[in-house]
Amino acid sequence: MTKLSIDRPILVCNFKTYLQAIGPKAVKLATYADEVSKSTGIQIILTPFISDISEIVKTTDLPIFAQHLDYAMPGKNTGHILPEAMKDLGIKGTLINHIEKPLKFSETEQTISRCNQLDLISCLCSSGFNQSEELAKLNPDIMIIELPELIGTGKAISTANPEIISKAVENIRKVNQDVTLIAGSGITNSKDIEKAIELGMQGVGSSNAVVSSTNPKQTLEELALALLDKK
**Residues paired with residue 46 on neighbouring β-strands, in sequence order:** 13, 64
Which of 35, 80, 100, 146 does the annotation list as catalytic? 146
Contact 121, 143 (CB under 8 A): no
* Catalytically annotated residue among 68, 98, 221, 222: 98
Give the integer Cα–Cα distance in Å for 52 and 47.
10
Largest CA distance in the chain: 49
Q: Are 54 and 62 in contact (CB under 8 A)?
A: no
Pairing of strands 93-96, 65-66: parallel
Is position 109 annotated as part of the catalytic site? no
Rounded CA separation 65/47 (Å): 5
The answer to whether the beta carbons of residues 10 and 182 sit under 8 Å apart is yes
Alpha helices, H only, 177-215 = 190-198, 208-211
CB-CB contact of 105 with 134 (8 Å) = yes
80 as an active site residue: the answer is no
Q: Which residues are catalytic?
A: 98, 146
